[in-house]
Every structure is written in C-alpha cells, then in structure tokens.
Chains A and B, each alone.
Chain A
Amino acid sequence: MASQEMEQLVRRDYKEGFVTDIESDTLPPGLDEDVIAFISNKKGEPEWMLEWRLDAYRKWLKMTPPSWAHLDYPPIDYQAISYFSAPKRPEDRPQSLDEVDPKLLETYEKLGIPLHERAALAGVAVDAVFDSVSVTTTFKEKLAEAGVIFCSISEAVKEYPELVKQYLGSVVPQTDNYFAALNSAVFTDGSFVFVPKGVTCPMELSTYFRINAENTGQFERTLIICEEGAQVSYLEGCTAPMRDENQLHAAVVELVALDDAYIKYSTVQNWYPGDEDGKGGIYNFVTKRGDCRGDRSRISWTQVETGSAITWKYPSCVLRGKDSKGEFYSVAVTNGRQQADTGTKMIHIGEGSRSSIISKGISAGRSNQSYRGLVKIGPRAKGARNFTQCDSLLIGDKCGAHTFPYQEIGNSTATVEHEATTSKIGEDQLFYCQSRGISEEDAVSMIVNGFCKDVFQELPMEFAVEAEALLSVTLEGSVG
C-alpha cells in the first residue's frame, strides 16, 4: 500500500551498530557518595573538585525530575545506571597513537573517523572520548604555540584549576535543573577549551563521543572560554552502537565569551534512535548555554540532529554584553518513534543585543517533535532585536510537529519577529516530482535539503557534507 511505501522511505539501517569488545573497567549500577568519590579518585581530582561534586549531588537529591516537556517516556531509575566506565588501560594514558589499544583505533576506523588520518589531513585536533576516558589528544603542540588550551576536562581540573574554578558552573549553575545537578555530581569527561586574548584558534576543534558499555550514562561536561577578542570554532559529533536498554546522556556545555569574542559551536548528532518500536535508543537530555558576557561578544549554536530516542535540549544564549549577539541554527529530524522537545532560549539583558533563531524540524514515521523557544527581553535591553523562524516539515501522516514559542518582552524599544510555517511532504508531491522524471529518492532529498538550506549553510564545511549525507541516510528507505 502507498502509505507503507512512504514509511519505508524513512526507515534506515543504523549503520553504526556494533559493540567493541574491550574489557571495560565499569562500576556496578547505583549512585551514592561513594560512587562519586570513586569517580573523583579515578580521575585523580583535587579535593575541591570532589567537594563541588558532592555539593551538587546533595542538591540533586532534593530535586525532582521535570515533567513539563511534551515527551512520553518511562521514569528513569537512576540507581540502575553505572556511572563510570573506562577501557582497561594501565594508569598512564597513551602518549601517542602507537600506545592506543588497537581495538579502540579499530572502533574509530569503523565509525569513519581514523584519528590520525583525519587529524593530519584536516588539521583538526581530536580529543577522542571513548566512554568515560579521554584516549588521546592530538596537536597539543600546535595549539600550545597559539596559546590555546584544548584538553579533557579531567586534565583541566588538574592542570588549570584556577581557570576551571573561575568558570565552571558560572553559566549553568549546579541547581539550574535536575539533569545539570546530576551531571555536576557525576560528570566523567568532556572538553576544556581556553583561548587567550586576541587569539583566533588556528584550527577547528572537535570531539567524538561514544557510549559503549551497557547501562552506562554518559555525562560529559564541556567548558569553552574565549577571552577578549578571541575566536574559536568547535565541532561536536556523536555516534553510538545498538543497544537494548535506554542510555542516558545528560551533558552540560558552558560557553563564555568576553568582549569582542566569538564562539561557534556546531553539532552533528547521530545517536541510535531506538528500533522501530522506539526501544533501546539514547535519551539525550542536555543543558547547553552560552554566556555572551562581554560587549560585542557573539555565540552561535549550529546543530543537525538525527538521532536519540528522546531529545531534550535548548542550546541557549544569555546576552549580557552590549551589542552582543546570539544565534541558533538547527535542523532536527525525528523518525520512527523518536521524540524531541527542543529549541532555544535567548535572554536579552544588554542594550542593543540581537538574536537570530532558525529552527527546522522534520518529522517522519511516527515521531513527535516540539519546538520550544523563549525570547526574553529584559528591562534594560534597549533596542534589542530578535528574529525567529521556526518551520516544520511533516513526512507522511503519522508524525507530529508542535510549536511552543514564548516571548517575554520587558522593554518597549525591542523588536521581536516570529515567523512559522508547517508543511507536509506527501505522496502527491513525490509523484509530482517523479512525473517530471526525478526519482523518489532525489525528490525527498531535494525537498528536505531545500527546507534545511538556511541551516546547512551555517555549518563548518566538513560538517555540512556529513550533515547532508546523514539526512539522506536517515530519510532513505528501501526505495526502488
């Protein structure tokens, strides 16, 4: 029947599904102060860091999980998750790729990210996180020359404690929300980037994540700081293997931009979305926030998401500085039985602050997607401006798209614009294209790419190519 064919169009085989059989040094499930102490100890953290974690944990115990999202999922048993998993290695981390477990390198090969090759050709420094431990950080010397610090958060805690103490939790405080509190207690790794005054980071920085051991939550903590006049472009790309149980991913990303600084944060996300019945995918509950602390500072979030069973994230900007600028460009694709409640928050505090939101949601299969956006103009934000464009595309007739825009305007000189469209790709449109000689696959691709163009052109080049491919794979089925 015609509608079944339509659904086949949007199914895909998750190519990344496999498990590396490396022995993992994994904690049994459960969370208490001992577990946190174990994590801190494993990482060789100083006392103050452990205290910070425990402080967050105690606050978390007093909080309740939020339930306002337009999402439907069974309650998470936080005691059934293991909070630490590391590949079995001697205490010393490998100093070069030669020392890395060959099975790990094989994993990266399979994922299409041969570390050495990519790093060498593209000039991208890769801080590869395998489960909860950073395996290797390349190109440290090049960055060191420029004065840029790019390392794992664990390393930063030990090597640059002053910087970490100064900025950690300053954008997303421990009690910001339930998942941020949890993350603050049990984060196991993530990236730390510091770009000093006036420096433009000489290469795009990138990190790959992977969740391997069953039942392991991945809790990354990333902190990126650009001092006055500094600039950096950071790429986050993720893949995950097939699993039967849901895996929780509750990361926190904090960005700080001082005067005239610019941070560009791009994500191409490819988590396992769960099988046809929605079973076994990743739960992606992330808190991402950028603080445009300085005048004329600028932070842009660009993301293409095609994975996760459940996605709950609102990369946001706090526009403190005068004439600061926040941008959010997003393409979110949901398929099968995925659910997403995502969007952004632009909080205008400084005079002349501006924000731009372009959100494209594509729903297919039986998925459900909600855009939730907040544009808040504070009383002192004279002349603030926002432009929001939020478009939904529905493929087939079993999916859903919802929009919850919020505008809180506290200054009468502000300009806030909101445009929204909802459209549908149905068999009729495909037939129309085919009747002009265009194949079904090309037709879907054409329609979807046209829809996402505004966002794709914001992605760094190598990501743009990956993103387009990812989109076609997500929406391709057994056509022809």
Chain B
Amino acid sequence: MLEVKDLHVTVEGKEILKGLSLTINAGEVHAIMGPNGAGKSTLSSVIAGKEGYEVTSGSITFEGQDVLEMEVEERAQAGLLLGFQHPVEIPGVKNIYLLKSALNTQRAARGEGEMPAPEFLKLIKEKIAEMQMDASFLQRSVNEGFSGGEKKRNEILQMLVLQPKLAMLDEIDSGLDIDALRVVADGVNSLRAEDRGILLVTHYQRLLDYIVPDHVHVLIDGRIAKSGDAELARELESRGYDWVLEESAA
C-alpha cells in the first residue's frame, strides 16, 4: 500500500532522513520508534505533504500513485490521513462543520454524493460515543480550548469518521493519561481492517501494549536501523536505543 524508497529529506538545510525505506501493506500495523531528532515526525510530515520539507531523493508511492506529485488535499482525498502530534486550533470553524466538509470532500473525490444530514448526524453520534466524548464538542471550534487529551481524541474521531486507507498517527499517546490512552487505543484498534494500514509513530513502548503492532521499526539517525515485531519494542524499552546503533554499525 505504502512504499517509501530510499527517502532523503532535508529540513532548513539539514538532512534529517538519510535513505529511509519502508513498506506498509494493507491490514498491517507498523510502529516507528526512535530517539528524539531521529526523524520520526519528519517522516509522517513528509508523507502528509507539510511545507518546509525538501525531498532530495527517493520516492513515496501510495497504492501505485506518486505521492510527491500530489497536493496535500489530494493525498488526504486518496485516503492518506495524518493524526497530528500537536493539533492546531481553528477558531470560528465548528468541529461538526470541519468533519462534514472533510467527509463530503472525500466522498466527492470518490465520485459519491454528499452524505445526507440525518445519516451524517447518526454517524457522528456513534463515533462520539465510541470515543467517549460529549456531543457538545461538535459545536465548539476545532480544538479551541481543548486539553491535550481532548485534541488527541478529536484526531482519532476524525479517523473514525473519515475512514482513511492509511492512518498515520504521530505520537498519538503523548500527553494522555491512562484512561484517555485506553479510549484512544480502542479507537485505533477499531480502525484495524484488512484493507487499511496504520502507521504509529511513538516514543514510548506503552502505547504498543494497547495497540499491538505487526511490525516495529527503529529509526535512528535518519534511517531504519532495525525492524522486528512487537517483541522488539519491549526490548527497546528495557535496553534503550544504543545497542541498536552498535548492532547496525557492526
């Protein structure tokens, strides 16, 4: 589904990704871990199309399409959705309006018509209940005055509504207490499907206790130094990252 080949990315003149390769197939959950500054957020930002990241070489293909040739909104319409680490506030735009616009834009891109209002409301109510959020949040402006936990729940809520083909969640666990973590994890787990890929970028192993990945990759110094399964994450938790570096240097 997603193929990243030998990706080199420069940010403000400094090379952050130095030949990163990664393949995600439909139905798989991948986790990327690594020390700070390794380039974890850079990867998801580049795939999403954020400004300020220069791809100097390499490629990214999504379902056969060249992602780097696509506009930000086109990537999203194709089913590539990013869950932000620090979701931004958008005063004046109600949550319900953003959800509705995004959903209908996706549908339009697939050649479907707009979802009728009653159906939409029903869908939203369902998903809000799943995320244990209060319906009043719909009338509030996007992320305005939200706590960190509420913002993360909002990201997952959007995923549940928009049903992406590939969900990239950038440190979705940062700033969450145990209860919020559980709710968010349940939400992510409910997204698991045969035709869907999930990419988790995370700093801590704890999240992976709740969302058990199929593959774990260690990103160090702009490259994937080691790949494994869920076990690898636990090993990193107890041993840290240094041994991976040593191993790959050897």
* Mutual binders A and B: yes
Question: Which residues of A are at the interface with B, using a C-beta cutoff of 8 A?
Answer: 2, 393, 421, 423, 426-429, 431-440, 442, 446-448, 450-451, 480
Q: Is the CB of A437 within 8 A of B105?
A: yes
Interface of B is mostly: mixed
**How far apart sit A426 and B91, CA to CA, in the bound complex (Å)?**
11
In B37-57, the 8 Å CB interface with A consists of 48-52
Supply 4 further A-B pairs (C-beta < 8 A) apart from A432-B84, A446-B97, A448-B92.
Answer: A433-B102, A436-B102, A442-B101, A451-B91
**How far apart sit A434 and B101, CA to CA, in the bound complex (Å)?**
11
Contacts of B51 in A (CB 8 A): 2, 427, 431
Q: Is the CB of A431 within 8 A of B72?
A: yes
Q: Is the CB of A437 within 8 A of B76?
A: yes
Q: Is the CB of A437 within 8 A of B109?
A: yes
Residue of chain A at shortest CB distance from B86: A428
Is B245 engaged at the interface, CB distance under 8 Å to the other chain?
Answer: no
Best-buried of B48, B105, B158, B162 by chain A (most CB within 10 Å)? B105
Contact of B98 among A426, A436, A448 (CB under 8 A): A436
**How far apart sit A438 and B91, CA to CA, in the bound complex (Å)?**
17
Q: Is the CB of A450 within 8 A of B88?
A: no
14 contacts between A and B (CB under 8 A): A393-B91, A423-B89, A432-B90, A432-B142, A433-B90, A434-B49, A434-B72, A435-B75, A436-B98, A438-B102, A439-B105, A440-B73, A446-B101, A451-B91
Q: Is the CB of A450 within 8 A of B93?
A: yes
Question: Which residues of B are at the interface with A, using a C-beta cutoff of 8 A?
Answer: 48-52, 71-73, 75-77, 81-82, 84, 87-94, 97-98, 101-102, 105-106, 109, 141-142, 158, 162
Q: In the complex, how many angstroms separate the beta carbon of B139 from the nearest chain A beta carbon?
A: 12
Contacts of A423 in B (CB 8 A): 89, 91-92
Interface of A is mostly: helix
Contacts of B92 in A (CB 8 A): 393, 423, 447-448, 450-451
Contacts of A434 in B (CB 8 A): 49, 71-73, 76
**How far apart sit A442 and B77, CA to CA, in the bound complex (Å)?**
14
Contacts of A450 in B (CB 8 A): 92-94, 97, 141
Best-buried of A423, A438, A440, A451 by chain B (most CB within 10 Å)? A438
Residue of chain B at shortest CB distance from A436: B102
**How far apart sit A423 and B141, CA to CA, in the bound complex (Å)?**
12
**How far apart sit A442 and B106, CA to CA, in the bound complex (Å)?**
14
Assuming the contacts A2-B51, A427-B51, A446-B97, asked whether A435 and B72 have C-beta atoms less than 8 A apart, the reply is: yes
**How far apart sit A428 and B106, CA to CA, in the bound complex (Å)?**
21
Contacts of A393 in B (CB 8 A): 91-92
Contacts of A428 in B (CB 8 A): 88
Contacts of A480 in B (CB 8 A): 71
**How far apart sit A428 and B76, CA to CA, in the bound complex (Å)?**
16
Q: Is the CB of A431 within 8 A of B73?
A: no
Q: In the complex, how many angstroms separate the beta carbon of A468 from the nearest chain B beta carbon?
A: 15
Contacts of B89 in A (CB 8 A): 423, 429
**How far apart sit A436 and B101, CA to CA, in the bound complex (Å)?**
9
Contacts of B52 in A (CB 8 A): 2
Query: What are the 4 A-B residue pairs with the smallest beta carbon separation, nearest first?
Result: A437-B76, A450-B92, A436-B102, A451-B92
Q: In the complex, how many angstroms separate the beta carbon of A100 from the nearest chain B beta carbon?
A: 44
Contact of B90 among A421, A429, A435, A442 (CB under 8 A): A429
Best-buried of B71, B89, B93, B97 by chain A (most CB within 10 Å)? B93
